[in-house]
Amino acid sequence: MPGNAFVLSVVAPLAAAALRLAFPAEAHASAELVWVLAFVPLFLCTRHLAWRGALYGLGWSALVVLLTAGALAVRDGHALDAARAGGVILVLAGCALGAGIQADWWRRSAADRAGLVLEPGAGGVEPEWIPDRTALEYILSRQVALARRGAALTVALVEVEELHERAALAGPDAAAQAIQGLVTWLVRQSRAMDVVGLYDPETVLVVLPRTDLRGGHRFAQRLLEDVGSLPAPWDGRIPLDIGLAGHDDAVEEPADLLARCRRALEAARGLKGSAAVLYHGNPAVELVDSGMVILEPDGRLREIRRTV
């Protein structure tokens, strides 16, 4: 669970408790509306941890509500108002149940969409057969959570080089045909655990679980070679730009990993001519394989050349 989401989940119910304690003893029942802040952990924890998060969020919020009710009873010299505290907790439980059901539905939906593959012999792939951007972001968030526990993870952004310029010369359908050829190869050649989807209409996102940057480099080289040999909807071949980045301890959220990929993709575009660039985010990891093009965090670009 990202650090900022965790902090908000902890602080929001405490802020509600502080506001509730600030009301005088004769405050109207509407004072309990401050507990809307206790919904924050219910939704944030559920988003990142599914049903387990819903239970964590409910448990934390309910505990704060009970402790606050006890503090009010001691401060004002009356018995614990169990009915009012119970009512608040009941509302929180209902929200936790709804959030958990929604998260579970979304997880199943994203998993189903990610698992769709072409039938053997199919001639192409339509965009709806693979995850869209929303589903990809959800899947990537789950994979980053696994990577924080030690699993290797590499992500790649892939584009057809100068797609608009080539499509303008070859006709309006050329761009769609080129993207179709790229996605078809990726869906057919990727492992069962890999995830391929359209991050936007012209950019393909590939999530490679249990793969370090060296494995990502081998994947990119095979992609450049195989897709480059496919028939193109224009004269010549289909050149690609690929930006890759691997998870390390400095990556806090999926957006950090995607930002690294974008920087590597921009560098690949600048090389002009079917290139894959690796973002070197972890200096403790040596990238020395021949043919690697590496982007350092300071913007320097270097290539590992074969030596004898």
Q: pLDDT tens across 251-269, in order?
A: 989 999 999 999 999 999 9
Confidence bin at 1 (pLDDT 50/70/90): low
Residue 166, token pair as written in the block: 């080539």
Is residue 138 helix, strand or coil? helix
**Per-residue pLDDT tens for 55-64?**
989 999 999 9
Is residue 209 helix, strand or coil? strand
DSSP 104: H
pLDDT value of residue 107: 61
Confidence bin at 204 (pLDDT 50/70/90): very high
pLDDT value of residue 123: 37
**CA gap 78, 17 in Å, rounded:** 18
**Per-residue pLDDT tens for 79-98?**
888 888 899 999 999 988 88
Which of 44-53, 66-75, 215-224, 242-251 shows the lowest per-residue confidence on average (mean pLDDT)? 44-53
Judge whether residue 26 has pLDDT over 80: no
Alpha helices in the chain (DSSP H): 3-22, 39-76, 82-115, 133-147, 163-170, 174-189, 213-228, 254-271
pLDDT above 90: percentage of residues in the chain: 40
Counting Cα atoms < 13 Å in the Cβ hemisphere of 177 gives: 14
2/115: higher pLDDT: 2
DSSP 119: P
94/31: higher pLDDT: 94
**Per-residue pLDDT tens for 99-125?**
888 877 766 654 444 443 333 333 344
Residue 237 vs residues 158, 218, 291: alpha-carbon distances, Å: 16, 20, 21
Task: Give the mean model confidence (pLDDT) for residues 26-44.
Answer: 85
Residue 264, token pair as written in the block: 């590597």
**pTM beyond 0.95, yes or no:** no
- For 7-27, b/e burial (b = at least 16 CB within 10 A) is ebbeebbeebbeebeeeeeee
